Amino acid sequence: MDIGTVAGLVVGIVLILSAILLGGSLSAFVDVPSVLIVIGGALAATFIRFTLPDVINSISVAMKAFFAKAQPPEDIIEELVNLSNIARKEGLLKLEKQPVEDAFLKKAIMYCVDGHESDFIQEVLDKEIELTLERHSLGQGLFAAIGDAAPAFGMIGTLVGLVNMLGNMKDPASIGPSMAVALLTTLYGAIMANLVALPIGDKLKRRSQEEELNKRLVVEGVLGLQKGLNPRVLEELLKTFLPPKKRGEGEK
């Protein structure tokens, strides 16, 4: 589980609730019509923009923001160097019996063991990376769409509340509820967009970047392994994908 995502969401909610309770009553900030306008409207707009299967798939993608944690690239480099040592000493066929947990790396190794050309291996693996990124971008786009729609429907709710208020100026009792809808929809829309939808979309983008880096490491590592590169040379090649600080060079 990604502690940062959960902690950020919980802390944000707690701080908002604390500010509300310190300044007044929580019940004053609860309005069902406002919730219906913002959440219902944002979800309706999302279903219009995307197909139902896209929305369902994006829910599973969103879980990556809370539960998925990418394997450190340093571990992948270490594993590739170990495999390179084995291939150099005992041959590529020996890699077939090595325990490999990562499905993408295992597939890449099988291509090598089966004797495919390096151009074919790179083309197939690059295509898989491209399609994976397309699926990830769909989930990111869905949450970005919710982040765009929520404030917009908050403004729509504000306009609805103002129209109701102006249409019932002769009835003082109706002014308060109408103003509540007018103001709370804007608040709900801002919270939904800036605390939930947009941050989750950004976290999914970060997860996608981490996964892409790991897969690129696998591609370069397996191609180098197939070429018979010295393990130390391969390690230095793969470390160029890392920031200088993580290469042990002491730079930022």
Confidence at residue 249, expressed as pLDDT on a 0 to 100 scale = 54
Could you read off the pLDDT of 46-55 as tens digits, one per residue?
999 988 888 8
Confidence at residue 98, expressed as pLDDT on a 0 to 100 scale = 85
The whole model's pTM is what?
0.81
Could you read off the pLDDT of 23-48 as tens digits, one per residue?
778 888 888 888 899 999 999 999 99
Whole-angstrom distance, CA of residue 61 vs CA of residue 203: 11
Confidence at residue 186, expressed as pLDDT on a 0 to 100 scale = 92
- Which residues in the chain come in under a pLDDT of 50? 250-252
Percent helix, strand, coil in the chain, to 5, is 85, 0, 15
Percentage of the chain beyond pLDDT 70 is 95
Contacts of 81 (CB under 8 A, 6+ apart): 231, 234, 235, 238
Could you read off the pLDDT of 211-230 as tens digits, one per residue?
999 999 999 999 998 888 89
CA-closest candidate to residue 105, choices 136, 83, 130, 127: 83
Contacts of 23 (CB under 8 A, 6+ apart): none
Confidence at residue 104, expressed as pLDDT on a 0 to 100 scale = 92
